[in-house]
């Protein structure tokens, strides 16, 4: 018990120190209060935003958009990547184009998407999908290419047909790569979503909450937005992906936990 308490203290020490520093600067009044609010103000704002339900509306908007965009990217990316890995013609046709498009930040297309699809949710979701699908394509492709030839030959010798070969050998073998691609894709989608919300003027969303608060100099609301974004990002990584990995890849014995 004592050990646990000490552990908790050591972990929270940097945050306490940071908070104290912030408080000191805020109280000393180096910056105007409006621009550099004290932590109590930020905390009060956070509580009132949470109680009034405004915060949850924004969180829900962001998460729904993230999920939709990511689903598009995952569907397109995995299918395209697996096809590229399976069929050499597809690989040779599309690999150069994909490798060229991959390093271009999806954000660069944002103004173009606004021209094409207007403001709002549609271009935001499409752009999140477009921005995060390339890393999924490339990883799925690598995964299928990396299936051990020995397993393929063994399955062949044991009389597996095309379909069994695909579902029983290739998919489980390529899965660690595909999941890694999906994880990277989700992280990419997450990093870009917030600013897309700012540029696309969506109705509700954490990015929009931050952007809108700037107009009224509501620095406390902006800080709450950044804080909540950090928490959601951390939860995504810890809860969603580590869990998926545990249930599939680890159980099939492709990776040790």
Partner 1 sequence: MSSALLSRSFWRGVAGLVLLLLLWELFARSGLFTQALTPPLSRIAKVAWRILLDGSLLTNSAYTLTRVLAGLLLACLVGIPIGILMGRFRAVERFFLPLVSVAMPIPSLAWVPLFILWFGIGEVTTLLVVGYAATFPVIYNVWTGVRAVNPLWMRSALAMGADHKQLFRSVVLPGASPYVFTGIRLAFGRAWIAVIGGEMLANPAAGLGRAIFDAREFLDSEVMLASIFAIGVVGIAFERLAFQFVETRTVARWGMVAAAGGRR
- Contacts to partner 1 by CB under 8 A: 10-15, 18, 31, 35-36, 89, 92-97, 100-101, 103-112, 114-116, 190-195, 198-199, 206-207, 210-211, 213-214, 217, 219, 222-223, 225-226, 229-230, 233-234, 236-237
Nearer of residues 81 and 169 to partner 1, judged by Cβ: 81
Q: How many CB atoms lie within 10 A of CB 61?
A: 21
Pick between residue 82 and residue 223 the one whose CB is nearest to partner 1: 223
Rounded to a whole number of angstroms, the minimum distance from the CB of residue 161 to partner 1 is 29
Residue 44 or 237 having the CB closest to partner 1? 237
Give the span between the Cα atoms of 62 and 229, in whole angstroms: 10
> Which segments of the chain does DSSP mark as H helices, in order?
2-28, 39-52, 54-86, 88-101, 110-117, 121-145, 149-157, 162-164, 171-200, 206-215, 219-235, 242-245
- Backbone Cα Rg of the chain: 23
Of 106, 68, 111, residue with least CA distance to 199: 111
Residue 9 Cβ, how far from partner 1 at the closest point, in Å? 11
CA–CA separation, 42 and 48 (whole Å): 10
Minimum Å distance from CB 68 to partner 1?
18
Evaluate whether 160 touches 169 at the Cβ level (below 8 Å).
Answer: yes
Q: Find the Cα–Cα–Cα–Cα dihedral 194, 239, 181, 123, rounded to 10°.
A: -30
CB of 157 to partner 1, least distance (A): 28
- What residue has token string 């000490």? 6
For the bound state, the minimum distance from the C-beta of residue 116 to partner 1, rounded and expressed in Å, comes to: 6
Name which of 169 and 183 has its Cβ closer to partner 1: 183
Closest separation between CB of residue 212 and partner 1, Å? Answer: 9
Torsion of CA 182, 184, 188, 189, to 10 degrees: 20
Which lies closer to partner 1 via its Cβ, residue 66 or residue 125? 66
Residue 97 beta carbon to partner 1: minimum distance, rounded to whole angstroms:
5
* Distance in Å from the first CA to the final CA of the chain: 27
Name the residue nearer to partner 1 (CB basis): 71 or 118. Answer: 118
Tokens representing 123 are 């271009």
Nearer to partner 1, 11 or 161 (CB): 11
């Amino acid at each position: 018990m004592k050990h646990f308490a000490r552990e908790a203290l050591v972990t929270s020490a940097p945050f306490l120190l940071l908070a104290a520093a912030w408080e000191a600067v805020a109280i000393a009044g180096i910056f105007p209060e409006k621009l550099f609010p004290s932590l109590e103000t930020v905390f009060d704002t956070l509580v009132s935003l949470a109680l009034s339900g405004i915060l949850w509306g924004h969180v829900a908007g962001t998460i729904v958009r993230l999920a939709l965009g990511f689903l598009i990217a995952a569907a397109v990316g995995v299918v395209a990547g697996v096809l590229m890995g399976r069929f050499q013609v597809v690989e040779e046709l599309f690999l150069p184009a994909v490798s060229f498009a991959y390093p271009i930040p999806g954000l660069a297309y944002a103004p173009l998407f606004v021209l094409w699809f207007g403001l709002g949710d549609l271009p935001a979701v499409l752009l999140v999908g477009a921005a995060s699908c390339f890393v999924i394509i490339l990883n799925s492709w690598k995964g299928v290419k990396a299936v051990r030839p020995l397993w393929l030959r063994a399955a062949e010798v044991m009389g597996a047909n095309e379909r069994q070969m695909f579902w029983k050998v290739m998919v489980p073998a390529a899965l660690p790569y595909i999941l890694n691609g999906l994880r990277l894709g989700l992280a990419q989608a997450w990093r870009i979503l917030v600013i897309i919300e700012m540029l696309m003027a969506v109705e509700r969303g954490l990015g929009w909450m931050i952007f809108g608060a700037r107009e009224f100099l509501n620095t406390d609301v902006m800080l709450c937005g950044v804080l909540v974004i950090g928490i959601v990002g951390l939860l995504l990584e810890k809860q969603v992906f580590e869990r998926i990995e545990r249930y599939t890849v680890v159980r099939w014995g492709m990776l040790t936990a």
